[in-house]
Chains A and B, each alone.
Chain A
Amino acid sequence: MPLSPAQSAVPQVLNLGNGGEPKDLDPHITTGVPEFHILMNLLEGLVSKDPKTLAPIPGVAESWKTSKDGLTYTFKLRKNAKWSNGNAVTAQDFIFSWVRLLTAETASEYAYQAFYIKNGKAFNEGKIKNPNQLGLKAVDPYTLEVKLENPTPFFLSLLFHHSLYPVHQATIEKFGSRWTRPENFVGNGAFVLSKWEINKVVSLKPNPHYWDKETVKLTEANFFPIDKHETEEKMFRAKNLHTVDDLPLEKLPVWQKDNSGVFKNHPYLGTYYYWFNCTKAPLNNKKVRQALSLAIDRDRIVRFVTRGGQIPATMFTPPGTGGFQPQSRLPKDGSQIAKAKQLLKEAGFPDGKGLPTIEILYNTSDNHKKIAEAIQHMWKENIGISAILFNQEWKVYLDNQHSKNYMVSRAGWIADYNDPNTFLDMFVSNGGNNHSGYSNTAYDQLIESAKKERNTTKRFAIFQKAEDILLEDLPVMPIYIYSRNYLLSNEVQGWHPNIEDIHPLKYISIATK
């Protein structure tokens, strides 16, 4: 496709603020969002995502079939998919990569993303030694057959996650952990890694062997690791950046009033909440937890404290996750304080009397502090419960949270993939990320049955039941649904704001205004 005159005249170089410095660019090692932003351009999975609708679209696989029972996926790989060194991308590459992800020695924190594959979990835990017993088979170099444990309806959406991208076997075997250095890197994405200066910049250039290189317009993309939002915002104003990763809270009101169109605000797939420690008195009492949750005014928190267009969380799963619209079960504002008082009385603490001081734990940050102070005030004002705040440095906070050494603890959860399961399977009994000690057999069974249900309507009905139980038992107190607030230059074309905040550079170009 010929370039339009406007495009060819403008240098196609995109400069992005990208939050923190990437820890690594090995898709099996990294866990962070900044790394994902880069990796989705360096490597390509079987399935990609439509930049606008987020629906699965062909990636390395040009087509796929699902068996009747939903347990077997057969992917047909495109024959012109190439690694950046010119090698063909084959079914064997995916098998090597997924076996690597599941191999214990890789120590991948995201190994569980492949537990949906038959025997994936058993192999990772060492109960099965032979990788041939995994549900993976290369029927021929361009046909990959994947057998699953359960009909996992969100399996295709999972394939966009970086942990399931392919990696180049020969490169890894040659360079070990240093294969992600720019001089060694071999990928199959639309871009290749051209420069990586630590704490300075990660630069990408188009991959000359990419099968769809005609679509790629950019000649260079620079990801700048900028810890400080103030710096990022100034760089944007000085036109050094086309987009910033985040905005300082104090600057939000200024940009919200700006009408040049650069300010972007939309919901994001994540929930901000407080854990209640269900293993210790008094929060092992369901009525106390309910009273605490009824006594806060979520609407006031998002309007006056966070102020960034967040949505008051009257549910746990963010509305619209994978198309699921959960019912509101919690009050949006402080309209049910009488009920909260009643519950507190029934629990044996009329007007909060006899209740020990509640301790709120959070990791050191101004924003967390402001929210905790607002909640502390609301509890005192509305139901007479006193709370004190504890802030701890990140690692200490994690340590205390994971060992359940807390009463109430701040937390947030961002979706690993666009499906309600990523939010709701967190609360199963003894789940690795369930830090409340909460356990409910009925809940566990619902989550288990949702894994097997293939009919979307029925599946969502199951998730709604799970939500109902969760918001009745309240091992967590949802506070708000995250939002994204950032700046994007009007010169950037092909960037579509979306709830997963995914913007493949392949579709992006720079135009004059």
Chain B
Amino acid sequence: MGLSYILRRLLVMIPVFFLVVTAVFFMIRFAPGGPFSSEKKVPPQVLKNLEAKYHMDEPLVQQYFRYLGDLSRFDLGPSFKHSNRTVNEIIAEALPVSMELGLIALCWALLIGITAGGLAALKPNTLYDYIPMSLSIMGICLPTFVIGPLLVLVFGLWLGWLPVAGWNSWQDRLLPSLTLGFAYAAYISRLTRGGFMEIRHQDFIRTARAKGLTETQILTKHALRGGILPVVSYLGPALAGIITGALVTETIFNIPGLGRFFIESALNRDYTMVMGTSLLYFSLIFLCNFLVDIIYVVLDPRVRYE
């Protein structure tokens, strides 16, 4: 049962992936300007030579099939902008950085979010509830480009405890991951609180209480599994978003991650790089959602593979 469900999900991915490749390929080609348009006018002869170098002198459809062919060999082609590197090489350098930043940020988000949310749910309508929940509203409202520089100002410049930018030592990881994780922590705390509050009033919790379990036992043994479900379903998109959507954090802290390449490549019309990063992001989002669906089934006995 479970296996056929997983297989079905994976099979569905193939046509969707194909659609994404096609859409991105043609959309970026139809955008005005090209990789070689520059401020100083490029002489026609030079332009012709450049186009020949990247097979751009061929008809578009032929280029499309050439790209599909390369893709089937996992060759994402040379970058137009960074002319001595291939897209594969750039991704190999930048993706681990983004992953590391994203995973640390997610750990912060879970740690802060579940603690605050759980505390709030345990003592609703007290200061334990009001303070974390007010903070979380702030976290949701304040954008990273405000929080980041603020953290840098306080911990980097005024107190001088942590580096202001860079990606070398472990200290460099702290401020960017906190900046990135803050908004997610805020969401998670609200989801956790909501999930727990809902489950507290369910029959099986009342039964647990009736048989004389302590509040802590109820919380950890019975309520946690159900209460955390909304957080789990949020984790899929969050993980994908946190890895792919770190552009602002990466720029503020000058981190060599993939988010900067994703945006820059679109602005530079670096066709191969746009394709490479888009396809990677698509795969990541798909994979994260897929994993979450599986975990969901494991956690909630009511859900079955359908």
Contact = CB atoms under 8 A, between A and B. Distances in A.
B37 A234 contact: no
B37 A399 contact: yes
Nearest to A29: B83
Interface stretch (B11-19, B43-51, B120-128, B228-236): B43-51
A197 B97 CA distance: 12
Contact of B157 (A23, A179, A238): A238
Interface string B142-179: 00000001001100110010011111000000000000
B44 to A, nearest CB: 9
Contacts of B111: none
A455 to B, nearest CB: 30
B52 to A, nearest CB: 8
Interface in A190-243: 197-200, 224-228, 230-231, 234-235, 237-238, 240
B45 A234 contact: no
Interface stretch (A103-111, A154-162, A299-307, A381-389): A103-111
A105 B52 CA distance: 9
B164 to A, nearest CB: 5
A21 B93 CA distance: 15
A104 B49 contact: yes
A199 B95 CA distance: 13
A398 B254 contact: no
Contacts of A104: 45-46, 49
Contact of B84 (A180, A234, A240): A180
Contacts of B256: 197-200
A240 B32 contact: no
Nearest to A22: B82
Interface string A459-473: 000000000000000
Contacts of B34: 395
B94 A399 contact: no
B53 interface: yes
Interface in B37-92: 37-43, 45-46, 49-50, 53, 81-85, 90
A198 B94 contact: yes
Interface string A167-179: 0000000000111
B269 A109 contact: no
Interface in A233-261: 234-235, 237-238, 240
A198 B85 contact: yes
Contacts of A181: 84
Given A227-B251, A433-B40, A177 B84 contact: yes
B251 A231 contact: yes
A234 B152 contact: yes
A231 B255 CA distance: 11
A396 interface: yes
Contacts of B90: 198
- Residue of A200, A225, A411 contacting most chain B CB atoms (<10 Å): A200
Contact of B45 (A126, A198, A394): A126
Nearest to A110: B40
Question: Chain B interface residue count: which class?
Answer: 35 or more
A402 interface: yes
Interface string B289-300: 000000000000
A234 B32 contact: no
Interface in A400-440: 400, 402, 411, 432-433, 435
B33 interface: yes
Contacts of B33: 394-396, 398-399
Interface residues of A, number: 51
Given A180-B84, A395-B269, A238 B37 contact: no
Contacts of A238: 156-157, 160, 163-164
B167 A200 contact: yes
A398 B40 CA distance: 9
Contacts of A106: 49
Contacts of B37: 395, 398-399, 402
A25 to B, nearest CB: 8
Contact of A230 (B84, B149, B260): B149
Given A24-B82, A125-B45, A398 B165 contact: no
B81 A228 contact: no
A224 B81 CA distance: 18
- Residue of A108, A109, A178 contacting most chain B CB atoms (<10 Å): A109
Contacts of A366: none
A119 interface: no
A104 B51 CA distance: 12
Nearest to A25: B84
Interface in B239-262: 251-254, 256-257, 260-261
Nearest to A109: B42
B91 to A, nearest CB: 11
B81 A23 contact: yes
- Residue of B40, B149, B252, B267 contacting most chain A CB atoms (<10 Å): B40
B41 A23 contact: no
A21 B256 CA distance: 10
A400 B37 CA distance: 11
Interface string B97-117: 000000000000000000000
Nearest to B162: A238
Contacts of A225: 254
B252 A199 contact: no
A432 B42 CA distance: 8
A128 B130 CA distance: 81
B272 to A, nearest CB: 14
B173 to A, nearest CB: 14
A29 B269 CA distance: 18
6 contacts: A21-B82, A226-B254, A234-B165, A238-B163, A395-B34, A432-B40
Interface of A: 21, 23-26, 29, 31, 104-109, 111-112, 124-126, 177-181, 197-200, 224-228, 230-231, 234-235, 237-238, 240, 393-396, 398-400, 402, 411, 432-433, 435
Given A198-B82, A238-B157, 10 more contacts: A23-B82, A104-B49, A107-B53, A109-B40, A177-B84, A178-B84, A225-B254, A227-B260, A238-B156, A396-B32
